[in-house]
Chains A and B, each alone.
Chain A
Amino acid sequence: MDFSVVVEYFPRLLEGAWVSVQLVALSVVLGALVALPIALARISQNWWIKGFPYAYIFFFRGTPLLVQIFLVYYGASQFDVVRESFLWPILREPYWCAIIAFTLNTSAYTAEIFRGAIQAIPEGEVEACKVVGMTKAQMYRRVLLPRAFGIVLPAYGNEIILMLKGSALASTITILDLTGMARTIIARTYTPIEIFLAAGGIYLAISMVIIAIFRQVEKRQNRYLGTVSIKVPDKG
């Protein structure tokens, strides 16, 4: 074992880590935006409204992320319509394909977390809103969504960490994220153990930062609860 290669290539690994962080941050934010309407539609009692979100969530949670990335990156190019459309400059780029695949994937998981949180709010609060005479939109905006945000945090933190780990798959479509960078360095230095372990260490460090941030936000968001902690049903 020769860990001097790690020292030598550490700046390159950090470059890769920065790409990983970007991928995760962008797809998590976009994913949350996509997830919200899906979660709301999924809660509906009407089969015509909840049918699509149900299938969407089932597909993205039931198939490997790797398949989803390949479907977006390689699959889309099978159709001439796509290749001639205005979308092609985006779908040609591995970076944006990864963002699209990650966003779709994480939005399915996030939608389930949101749904769990909204449904975990006691029925009495919904009734109270109705009694006060709020419209459905007001009830969601003033009570249910802010409440759900607090409940969602622990599970959502987990989902971001899962996304961070999933982002390693970006390396399979030539993106130089942390894993991709590690593989390129190894192709040159033939020191898989040292470099992969260093990359693993960086992933661990990023996860710890995410956990620490979420602890702070959770404390702030749920400060009115005192020391009581809430458990969210763990969905996948």
Chain B
Amino acid sequence: MIDLHGFGDQLLQGALITVELAMASLGVGLVLGLLGAAAKLSSIAPLRWLATIYTTIVRGIPELLTVLIIYFGATIVLMAIASQFGYDDYIEVGPFTAGVTALGLTFGAYATEVFRGALQSIPKGQHEAATALGMGAFRKFQRIILPQVWRVALPGLGNLFLVLLKDTALVSIVGLDDIMRKANIAVSSTKQPFLFYATAAIMYLLLTIISMVVVTWLEKRASRGMRRG
């Protein structure tokens, strides 16, 4: 086996943080994506503009810059808001919170487009049928629309998750103890950069493979109601 100079369990702890960050950002991003898609398809024009501004800006700015803006900017903005209410202590936004916010925003912007396409792929007749059966808007969404949107959107969301997983490495730059930063720490104490960055690369590859397996399983599950042509 490769000798990791006792940093093996440190790297595993880092992997745990990476996975936690990815899952938390996924949750935030899915919610933002659904809201974004709903806003883009809304009949209220200002909502559509807002969603378009959101997706254009977030998708056009480097993820690293988003992470940096949120990490350094959130503290300043929150403190400015708090001081309006007479609270003058230092507010710190940790790297994990900043990371979840930044990656969630990024995922949400791309997911907006995926969800929008999926929502539009549902025939109008199904909306009408659900309404004719007396379902309210929420029940219709939960029983009829969402399960189908989920099936159509899954491949796209799966790709986005793989991108998200790799983007988590960026949060190491603002000091989150993920795989990447644990590798940096190991490198500075052992002076073996290739060994540890290669190990980190393999760990990300393994996480990618696991995610791909899970996504394939979910896709199979989601389309179990479909007849195979």
Contacts and interface: CB of A to CB of B under 8 A. Distances in A.
B57, B64, B166, B193: which has the most chain A beta carbons within 10 Å? Answer: B64
Given A64-B204, A200-B61, A172 B197 contact: no
A204 B57 contact: yes
A195 B27 CA distance: 30
B169 A64 contact: yes
Interface stretch (B37-45, B70-78, B131-139): B70-78
B117 to A, nearest CB: 11
B195 interface: yes
Contacts of A199: 65
Contacts of B69: 192-193, 196-197, 200
Contacts of B60: 161, 200, 203-204, 207-208
B205 interface: yes
B205 A63 contact: yes
B194 interface: yes
Contacts of B192: 78
Interface string B174-193: 00000010010001000111
A75 B170 contact: no
B68 interface: yes
Interface residues on A, range: 35 or more
B61 A165 contact: yes
A182 B205 CA distance: 32
Interface string B133-150: 000000000000000000
Contacts of A193: 69, 72-73, 76-77
Given A63-B201, A70-B193, A71-B198, A200 B57 contact: yes
A40 interface: no
A62 B201 CA distance: 8
A204 B77 CA distance: 23
Nearest to B167: A64
Interface in A70-126: 70-71, 74-79
A203 B56 CA distance: 12
Interface string B47-67: 000000000110011111100
Interface in A32-67: 58-59, 62-67
Contacts of B208: 62-63
B173 interface: yes
A166 interface: yes
B193 A77 contact: yes
12 contacts: A58-B205, A62-B204, A62-B209, A64-B170, A66-B169, A71-B193, A165-B63, A168-B62, A192-B68, A193-B72, A200-B61, A200-B69
Interface of B: 56-57, 60-65, 68-69, 72-73, 76-77, 159, 162-163, 166-170, 172-173, 180, 183, 187, 191-195, 197-198, 200-201, 204-205, 208-209
Given A71-B193, A197-B69, 17 more contacts: A62-B204, A62-B209, A63-B208, A64-B166, A64-B180, A64-B204, A67-B169, A67-B200, A70-B183, A74-B193, A75-B193, A75-B197, A78-B194, A168-B63, A192-B69, A192-B73, A203-B65
